[in-house]
DNA sequence: GTGGTCTAGTGCACTTTGTGCGGG
DNA sequence: GCCCGCACTTTGTGCACTAGACCA
């Protein structure tokens, strides 16, 4: 679509600004003329002229092709005053326009007016032509092919209207064509993974928190006190079965209600106590209470939770349109449907919230209802509601998926039909509130609860519309029933939905609620165990959504032990009355219970049913269909056929073999057996073929005719290389040995990974081969990397011995060289110091040039510096000078004339910190140097 | 709603064996 | 003249994977 560059006022790009400025310039030019003559008349005439001009420009555009159709440009208001604009926008835009007009007025005087007669009426065809040309010149700048953001289109139209121009789009932006698909970058993936992991850890911690709260003796005692007497004895049977739990579950389900909201500021423990008191709470609290009750009844019980973590994959395209940063929209753990904050997530469709959603998302028709609801809410509830509303606003800013749009439409219809019912329910709840005085729950809270109940159908899996349905199985209990099966069984008990032993239904229920069973974790004894396998039969669907199993197993390992100990401990306590021998037996059985469960889960993993769609086989860990084999894979042996999917035979994944070229096998220390037919022959690309034709392969690779032969491991045998004979190392065509691994070394040879071995081997006249250990890319090409040499084993010691000697010699030589260099540098330093001092004496202290010359002469050979101090002492000159100095009372400057500096040892000072030594001559000259 | 197919974008693995110049 | 070390410059292609669009 060709659009007017509307980005001017949005400061989107400089180019856009320029282009729009050009248009503003056009307008201002006409404004200049207005001022030049009659304001009113010329203004109107000018506007008319601009309109004409635009029409002609548009005409010329449209004549150039369908893509340049700008018919959407037309003059809207003859007065140029915008209609229906906001005050802020008006202010902003007026300022901008005036500023630009002033600026352009100055420009137009110089730029346009000199060439154009002021009489607009007489504006000749030439001028118009010039202007049109100008427009054409601007065409490339001022107009561009651009996308239109739907969310901003409305405001943009207003802005353009302000300028007296209406921007009309002849077609709705085609989202499917405009949307550029942006894939997640590696960095974003990494970030998503980190968020996922952190979210997992938080949810694990949350689960442990809940598990600990379930052990509270006060809560357990309170629950027992509520339990009818006949139910107390239900579980007091030696072989507990799932059936025996049913009455208990029914009682619990009827006595505890689930509400959506929760006071997130309370600790979970106090929230649990409140739930116990009011017999209403979140599904998490209700499930936790059920676990507490079962534990109070001495049943081995776990608290099980689906960890609904942030996605492992960055959902960029889903959540954020192009140009909208994740930070702006909010992302990850804080915006995901995490269980850390229970309230908003579990009641997405409560009437109040739904109405609030409607307020923001859908029109004002529902605003009245929302207002009513809001007015009845308590301040705290309103705050919560505001939070929810904020969340809704955030959600509304995101691009909506097709399903979400449909959901909104359905929601709107449902609300319109049930609005009356909601109001009635609210009134009923108000009435009930007035009547009930004993309850501690605030009337406002109760209203909300009641209102929510009417739409969420409180218990059972709802079939409500929406992407997140109410009733998703998120929390339940697992009770160990020793009477189930032969070895006992962990029985799924969901008091929220009043389901016992319904583990096979969890997956379907979760799927119906758009909830993936990525992680199902059972908590007990402050530990945790991943029991996802028990509830998830379609592992292939969640495998890619789970974190790296090594990391996950490592995280769970200590928790798993705690859980295992805890569940056995519970059993142990339960049978405390047993005698010692029985105790031992129980301990033994619990030890195997954990391993039995592991076996059960592993069995489930290995007996996963065959998927019914072909895509599932692509990365399935157990099964494969032939179409998903890549070019380096083959089925060997080709069977057994486990089943069929859309006519494709399904094979075990274990039949998939990786194929490699001969050279690749060589690198792994294997060679293809003689007379083996390639398992697969691949065609090479043109470029590779060309290169392959030019060169010969080292090992007789069969790459010719643009094909490459691949072999499977079953076609290989251990590498057999020609051995070293008579001290000669067998080499390849390039006179080297490729040392990919130790297996690639010819028998009887050894790889010496030391530098500077080549001269040693040459000196000893020992046969060797450079060892190529790999390739590296430099200068845009791959270059071989050599490391050491390959020699026959019998020469190893001799070479190493000589190498050691050679290295010692080399190091000594190196040391000597460095010392000599140090001396040389010292000499240079001191010589420069002397020169400096000489110049100082000569020109700064006012010494005679003659003395300077003498000084220089006496020092030219640097005899003083070359001389050692001790040696100097022994010389007759030194002795003479010393005596002269002692006898003379002359100032040092006089003495300095034609004298060589003498540094007496006694006059030397040493700075220990800086290791600097200062030598002083009696004449006052001193030299400071650093000791090496 | 689900699955199959096609398309396009992204990331990654594979490929693979120099040359010229200056200083010693 | 020979040998050694260093600098130069930083691929290109194809495939696997993934996700979206579209259709049945």
pLDDT for res A590 = 52
State whether the beta carbon of A694 lies below 7 angstroms from any atom of strand B: no
Average pLDDT, stretch A170-189?
52
CB half-sphere exposure, A830, CA atoms < 13 A = 21
> What pLDDT sits at residue A523?
97
A182 touches strand B (CB under 7 A): yes
Angle between helices A402-435 and A367-376 (to 10 degrees): 40
Q: How far is CA A170 from CA A1, A66, A73, in A?
A: 9, 12, 10
Strands (E), A449-497: 475-481, 489-494
Q: Which nucleotides of B are covered by protein (CB under 7 A)?
A: 1-5, 8-12, 15-18
Residue percentage of chain A with pLDDT more than 70? 51
User: Per residue in A614-661, pLDDT tens?
Assistant: 888 887 888 888 888 888 888 888 888 888 887 788 888 888 888 888
Q: Are residues A726 and A598 in the same domain?
A: no
* Residue A735 to residue A770: CA distance in whole angstroms: 8
- Average pLDDT on A64-68 reads 36
Strand B–CB A777 distance below 7 A: yes
Judge residue A813's burial from the number of C-beta atoms within 10 Å of its C-beta, 0-12 exposed, 13-18 middle, 19 or more buried.
exposed
* A180 Cβ contacts chain C strand, under 7 Å: no
Dist. CA A433–CA A448, nearest whole Å: 11
Six-digit token pair at A499? Answer: 């389901």
Residues A603 and A728 in one domain: no
Q: At residue A32, does pLDDT exceed 60?
A: no
Among positive and negative, which fits the CA dihedral A266, A272, A277, A279? positive
Predicted pLDDT of residue A881:
46
d(Cα A800, Cα A816) in Å, to the nearest integer? 24
A887, part of any domain: no
Q: Tell me, yes or no, whether A698 lies in a domain.
A: no
Q: What is the mean pLDDT of residues A560-585?
A: 61
CATH number at residue A292: 3.10.620.30
What residues does A645 pair with on adjacent strands? A648
Alpha helices in A607-685 (DSSP H): 662-667
Cα–Cα distance measured from residue A107 to residue A20, given in angstroms and rounded to the nearest whole number: 16
Q: Report helix, strand or coil for A911.
A: strand
User: Rounded to the nearest 10 degrees, how much is the dihedral formed by the CA atoms of A622, A625, A629, A635?
Assistant: 80
The 10 Å CB-count burial string (b at 16+, else e) for A12-48 is: eeeebbebbbbbbbbbbbbbbbbeeeeeeebbebbbe
**Distance CA A250 to C1' C2 in A:** 97
* Confidence band, pLDDT 50/70/90 cuts, at residue A238: confident
Q: Stated in angstroms, how far is A598 CA from C17 C1'?
A: 33
Whole-number distance in Å between A622 CA and C17 C1':
19
Query: Per the domain annotation, does A716 fall within a domain?
Result: no
- Closest nucleotide (C1' vs CA) to A686 is C13
Choice between A164 and A492, residue whose per-residue pLDDT is larger: A492
Q: What is the pLDDT of residue A835?
A: 93
A565 vs A916: which has the higher pLDDT = A565
- Alpha carbon of A228 to those of A114, A357, A574: distances in Å? 103, 43, 21
The sign of the dihedral angle between the CA atoms of A294, A299, A303, A306 is: negative
- By DSSP bridging, strand A280-281 and strand A257-258 are parallel
Does some domain include residue A286?
Answer: yes
Partner residues linked to A658 by β-bridges: A633
* A778 CB-to-strand C distance under 7 Å: yes
Distance between the alpha carbon (CA) of A712 and the C1' atom of B1, Å: 42
Give strand letter and number of the nucleotide nearest A781 (CA to C1').
C11
Cβ burial of A806 (10 Å; 0-12, 13-18, 19+) is middle
pLDDT value, residue A778 = 73
Q: What is the pLDDT of residues A295-332, one digit of tens each?
A: 999 899 999 999 988 877 775 434 333 333 333 333 33
A467 touches strand B (CB under 7 A): no
Is the pLDDT at A677 greater than 70, yes or no? Answer: yes
The nucleotide minimizing the C1' distance to residue A770's CA is: B17
Residue nearest to nucleotide B17 (CA to C1'): A784
A756: nearest nucleotide, CA–C1' criterion: C4
Using pLDDT thresholds of 50, 70 and 90, give the confidence band for residue A898. low
Per-residue pLDDT tens for A125-175? 343 434 433 433 333 333 333 333 333 334 443 444 444 445 444 444 443
Is residue A748 pLDDT above 70, yes or no?
yes
Q: Is the pLDDT of residue A570 over 80?
A: no
The answer, yes or no, to whether residue A286 has pLDDT greater than 90, is yes
Q: What is the pTM for the complete model shown?
A: 0.58
Q: Distance in angstroms, CA of A759 to C1' of B1?
A: 75
The CA-to-CA distance between both ends of chain A, in Å, stands at 78
Sequence-ordered list of residues with C-beta below 8 angstroms from that of A687, at least 6 positions apart, any chain:
none
User: In this predicted model, what pLDDT tens digit does every residue of A351-368 receive, in sequence order?
Assistant: 333 333 333 333 333 333
Half-sphere exposure of A931 (CA within 13 A, CB side): 12
Q: What is the pLDDT of residues A841-881, one digit of tens each?
A: 888 766 554 444 444 444 444 444 444 444 444 445 445 54
Q: Provide the pLDDT for residue A264.
A: 64
Predicted confidence at residue A207, as pLDDT, reads: 96
Q: Which residue has the higher pLDDT, A755 or A898?
A: A755
Report the domain count for chain A.
2
Residue A538 resides in a domain: yes
Give the mean model confidence (pLDDT) for residues A337-355: 34
Of all residues in chain A, what percent carry a pLDDT higher than 90?
A: 16
Find the Å distance, CA of residue A686 to C1' of nucleotide C16. Answer: 21
Give A313 CA → B10 C1' in Å. 14
| Last residue within a domain, chosen from A761, A781, A810 | A810
Q: Is A504 a residue whose pLDDT tops 80?
A: yes
Identify whether A640 is preceded by a cis peptide bond (ω within 30 of 0): yes
Cis-peptide, bond into residue A281, ω within 30° of zero: no
Burial of A868 (0-12, 13-18, 19+ CB in 10 A): exposed
**Domain around A737:** 722-810
Query: Is residue A902 within 8 Å of A921, Cβ to Cβ?
Result: yes
pLDDT confidence of residue A631: 80
Q: Which nucleotide's C1' sits nearest to the alpha carbon of A660?
A: B14
Task: Spell out which residues of A between 503 and 542 contact strand B, using CB within 7 Å.
Answer: 511
Between CA A687 and C1' B5 the distance (Å) reads: 31
Does nucleic acid strand C have an atom less than 7 angstroms from the CB of A613? no
Q: What is the CA radius of gyration of chain A?
A: 45
Please state, rounded to an integer, the average pLDDT across all residues of chain A.
Answer: 64
Read off the CATH number of the domain in which A769 is found: 3.30.70.2460
Given a cut of 90, is residue A124 above it in pLDDT? no
pLDDT of A772 strictly over 50? yes
Determine if strand C comes within 7 Å of the CB of A181. Answer: yes
Average pLDDT over residues A699-718: 71
Tokens 């959506």 found at = A260
Q: DSSP letters of A226-294?
A: HS-HHHHTTT-SSS--HHHHHHHHHHHHHH-EE-S---TTS-HHHHHHHHHHHTEE-HHHHHHHHHHHH
Pairing of strands A499-500, A909-911: unpaired
Assign A742 a pLDDT band (cuts: 50, 70, 90).
confident
Q: Is the CB of A400 under 7 A from strand C?
A: no
- Whether residue A537 is predicted with pLDDT greater than 70 in this model: the reply is yes
Decide which of A788, A810, A832 is a domain's last residue: A810
Q: Tell me, what's the pLDDT at A315? A: 59
| Interval A796-823 mean pLDDT | 84
User: Is A671:A661 a contact under the CB 8 Å cutoff?
Assistant: no
Residue A437 confidence (pLDDT): 34
DSSP codes of every residue in A123-190: --HHHHHHHHHHHHHHHHHHEEE----HHHHHHHHHHHHHTTEEE--SS---HHHHPPP-PPPHHHHH
Confirm whether A438 is domain-assigned: no
Number of C-beta neighbours around residue A773 at 10 A? 19
Q: Is residue A308 a part of any domain in this protein? A: yes
Of A469-483, A856-870, A882-896, give the range with the top mean pLDDT: A469-483
Within a domain: residue A492? yes
User: For the segment A404-449, what is each residue's pLDDT rounded down to a tens digit?
Assistant: 444 454 444 444 433 433 333 443 344 344 343 333 333 333 333 3
A674 CA from C12 C1′ (Å) = 35
Structure tokens at A284: 């998490």
Least confident range from A172-186, A475-489, A760-774: namely A172-186
Q: Which of A810, A838, A864 is where one domain is finished? A: A810
């Amino acid at each position: 679509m060709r659009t007017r560059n509307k980005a001017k006022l949005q400061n989107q790009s400089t180019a856009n600004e320029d282009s729009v400025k050009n248009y503003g310039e056009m307008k201002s030019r006409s404004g200049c003329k207005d001022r030049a003559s009659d304001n009113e008349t010329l203004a109107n005439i000018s506007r008319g002229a601009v309109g004409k001009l635009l029409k002609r420009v548009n005409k010329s555009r449209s004549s150039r092709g369908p893509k340049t159709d700008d018919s959407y440009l037309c003059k809207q208001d003859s007065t140029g005053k915008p209609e229906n604009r906001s005050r802020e926008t008006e202010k902003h835009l007026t300022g901008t326009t005036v500023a630009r007009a002033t600026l352009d007025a100055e420009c137009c005087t110089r730029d346009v007016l000199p060439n154009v007669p002021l009489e607009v009426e007489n504006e000749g065809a030439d001028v118009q032509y010039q202007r049109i040309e100008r427009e054409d010149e601007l065409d490339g700048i001022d107009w561009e092919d651009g996308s239109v953001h739907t969310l901003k289109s409305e405001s943009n139209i207003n802005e353009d209207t302000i300028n007296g121009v209406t921007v009309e789009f002849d077609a709705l932006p085609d989202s499917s064509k405009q949307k550029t698909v942006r894939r997640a970058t590696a960095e974003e993936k990494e970030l998503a993974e980190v968020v996922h992991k952190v979210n997992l850890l938080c949810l694990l911690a949350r689960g442990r928190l809940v598990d600990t709260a379930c052990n509270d003796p006060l809560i357990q005692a309170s629950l027992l006190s509520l339990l009818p007497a006949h139910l107390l004895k239900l579980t007091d049977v030696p072989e507990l079965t799932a059936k025996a739990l049913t009455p208990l579950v029914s009682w619990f389900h009827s006595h505890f209600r689930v509400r959506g909201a929760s006071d997130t500021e309370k600790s979970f423990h106090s929230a649990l106590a409140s739930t116990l008191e009011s017999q209403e709470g979140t599904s998490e609290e209700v499930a936790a209470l059920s676990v507490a009750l079962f534990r109070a009844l001495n049943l081995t019980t776990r608290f099980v939770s689906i960890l609904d973590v942030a996605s492992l994959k960055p959902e960029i395209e889903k959540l954020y349109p192009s140009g909208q940063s994740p930070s702006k929209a909010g992302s990850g753990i804080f915006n995901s449907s995490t269980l850390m904050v229970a309230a908003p997530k579990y009641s997405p469709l409560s009437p109040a919230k739904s109405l609030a959603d409607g307020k923001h998302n859908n029109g004002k028709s529902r605003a009245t209802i929302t207002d009513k609801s809001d007015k009845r809410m308590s301040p705290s509830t309103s705050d919560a509601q505001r939070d929810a509303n904020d969340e809704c606003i955030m959600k509304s800013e995101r691009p909506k998926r097709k399903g979400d749009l449909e959901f909104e439409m359905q929601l709107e219809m449902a609300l319109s039909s049930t609005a009356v019912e909601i109001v009635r329910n609210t009134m009923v709840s108000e009435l009930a509130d007035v009547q009930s005085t004993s309850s501690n729950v605030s009337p406002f809270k109760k209203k909300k609860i009641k209102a929510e109940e009417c739409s969420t159908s409180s218990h059972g899996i709802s079939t409500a519309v929406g992407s997140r349905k109410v009733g998703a199985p998120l929390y339940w209990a697992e009770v160990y029933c020793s009477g189930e099966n032969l070895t006992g069984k962990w029985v799924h008990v969901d008091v929220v939905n009043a389901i016992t032993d319904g583990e096979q239904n969890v997956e379907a229920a979760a799927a119906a609620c758009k909830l993936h069973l990525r992680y199902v974790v059972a908590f007990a004894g402050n530990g945790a165990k991943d029991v996802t396998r028990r509830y998830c039969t379609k592992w292939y669907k969640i495998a890619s959504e789970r974190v790296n199993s090594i990391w996950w197993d490592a995280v769970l390992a200590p928790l798993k032990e705690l859980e295992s100990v805890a569940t056995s401990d519970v059993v142990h306590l339960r049978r405390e009355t047993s005698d010692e021998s029985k105790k031992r037996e129980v301990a033994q059985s619990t030890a195997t219970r954990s391993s039995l469960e592991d076996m059960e889960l592993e069995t489930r993993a290995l007996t996963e049913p065959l998927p019914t769609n072909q895509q599932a086989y692509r990365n399935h860990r157990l099964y494969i269909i032939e179409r998903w084999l890549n070019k380096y894979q083959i089925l060997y042996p080709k069977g057994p056929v486990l089943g069929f999917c859309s006519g494709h035979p399904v094979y075990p994944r274990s039949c998939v073999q990786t194929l490699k070229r001969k050279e690749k096998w060589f690198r792994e220390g294997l060679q293809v057996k003689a007379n083996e037919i390639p398992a697969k022959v691949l065609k090479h690309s043109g470029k590779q073929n060309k290169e392959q034709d030019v060169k010969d392969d080292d090992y007789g690779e069969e790459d010719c005719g643009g094909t490459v032969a691949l072999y499977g491991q079953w076609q290989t045998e251990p590498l057999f290389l020609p051995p070293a004979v008579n001290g000669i190392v067998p080499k390849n065509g390039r006179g080297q040995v490729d040392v990919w691994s130790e297996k690639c070394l010819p028998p009887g040879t050894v790889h010496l990974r030391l530098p500077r071995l080549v001269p040693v081997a040459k000196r000893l006249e020992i046969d060797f081969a450079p060892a190529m250990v790999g390739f590296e890319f430099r200068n845009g090409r791959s270059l071989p990397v050599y490391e050491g040499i390959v020699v026959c084993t019998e020469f190893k010691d001799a070479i190493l011995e000589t190498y050691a000697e050679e290295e010692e010699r080399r190091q000594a030589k190196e040391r000597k060289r460095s010392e000599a260099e140090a001396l040389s540098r010292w000499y240079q330093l001191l010589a420069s110091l002397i020169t400096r001092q000489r110049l100082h004496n000569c020109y700064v202290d006012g010494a005679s040039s003659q003395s300077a010359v003498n000084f220089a002469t006496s020092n030219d050979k640097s005899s003083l510096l070359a001389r050692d101090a001790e040696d100097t002492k022994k010389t007759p000159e030194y002795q003479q000078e010393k005596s002269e100095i002692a006898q003379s009372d002359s100032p040092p400057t006089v003495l300095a004339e034609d004298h060589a500096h003498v540094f007496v040892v006694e006059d030397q000072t040493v700075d220990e910190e800086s290791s600097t030594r200062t030598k002083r001559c009696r004449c006052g000259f001193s030299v400071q140097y650093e000791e090496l």
